[in-house]
Structure 1
Amino acid sequence: MGSPGARTADQRETRAEGATVPGAGGGPGGVKSARRTVELIEAFARTHGWLSPSDLHVHMGFPRSSLHALLHTLLEAGWLELDAASGRYRLGVRALICGTAYLDRDPVVPYATEELEKIRGETGWTTHFARRNGGEVVYLETREAKRSTHLISRVGRTLPAHATALGKALLAELTQEEIAQLLPPELPALTEHTITDPEELYAACALTRERGYASEVEEGTEGVRCVAAVIPYRIPATDAISCSMPTGQATDTDAAEVGALLAETADALGRKLRRAGIR
């Protein structure tokens, strides 16, 4: 049982749940409980395992009374699942339903999927369609190579933009100042090959602008190289398509040929989207 002082703090926080917070969503202020609900869902989305209320209290700093109320509400609404034996939670099926609804309602996805199928058929490699969200790229569609042994969908998964060809292609649409504001001061390494020096990243973006496609070798995943090109229907571009190839099966020449194909395909797709009135 917590101390009287701790209980009082929790009670103060509970009474303040309806207060607005400067800088949060919803105009000049956001509702604190709504903001915490979103943060809670995103914490579960970043975690592969189950989380206990104690884990969440320690890592997120929410008052226990508020935290338990939010967990109970999300559980009842289907956003969370509860393991009764351990008292731990994880994301529920409602998260998948809402995520699928986003894809179902996005007008670009059907067009992009058609092109991914064509590129996979022509190259034999795995293809992706992704969108930049801040300093990350979110995978919206994937077509695995028919000879792939992985067959794991990346849809809904995110990766740091600086560590992927998709991300570099999209970052190249921005100025150096915009890139610096978007990314963290220290760029995390996903592999030993990931670019972590901002100056090196800026140079990679400049090269991407010059040749029309981005390229990386084992920066995001060991054993995989990737090339990507933006779909130019928005300014700056938000979407890109890519092709992933095993490093042991694709040479620099192969990657350059696929990169040129992606640039040509993405440019044609951009024109098609603009003609369809999709912005």
Structure 2
Amino acid sequence: MTPRLVILGTAAVGPDVDHENTHMALEGTNGVYLIDCVGLPLARLKHAGIDHEKLRGIILTHFHPDHVAAVPGLLLSLWIMGRTDPLHIYGLSHCLNRVEQMMGFYHWEKWNGFFPVVFHHLPPREGVQLLDTTDFTIYASPVRHYVPTIGVRVVVKQTDYIMAYSGDTIPCPETVRLAYNADLLIHEATGDEPLGHSSAAQAGAIAKEARAKRLGLIHYPVWNARTAHLVDEARATFGERVFLCEDMMSIPLG
């Protein structure tokens, strides 16, 4: 199979009935990796036709509730459903230390027969190899948000297709380098917030500077907000090859 990216949610902080908070699934022939973990990830995986037993790990971009809140529920559900295989969780120490603390409030050390969870603490530098599988190599780079945050770059081995995801960030040169020559850049479009987020127009400018071939907008406001203008704003700075990510959209990576 051609690896694919499934957009499980697209909303910024306030989701609605049609848009869950932003998270996604990276599916290859030998495993699935979540990028962030919010809402009801098991239900979303099932809706996407993805077997939860293929889940190998979770990449957490940063420790904000709209990106990590479902970790305890997911781990509990997998345990109750009989999982025994290890689950790997990747992220910066700022995030992972707090996730462990969060799990501690549930006394998970007392969950009898709980499967192994392996935390992979990433150094806060650009181009760190996060993961290498038979399907893809994934790299992480710090970006600029209110708290320590990473974006990711996925290189598909079968096709040399490159997908980059900005994470939550202001426009910054780190994202340009992360997404350089990418076939697809998925970039947040929350709005122009000088300390933490980017607008659709700014996402387009970053994609153009990075020489990305396509731009997908994600993490956009949906609560009492109109979204039709976002694509037009990004096209004004990037060009025509812009689309708005939608919940449950499946994107072939090749």
TM-score by length of 2: 0.31
Give the structure with the larger helix fraction. 1
Give the structure with the larger strand fraction. 2
Q: Which one scores higher on RCO, CA 8 angstroms, separation ≥ 6?
A: 2
Larger radius of gyration: 1
TM-score by length of 1: 0.29
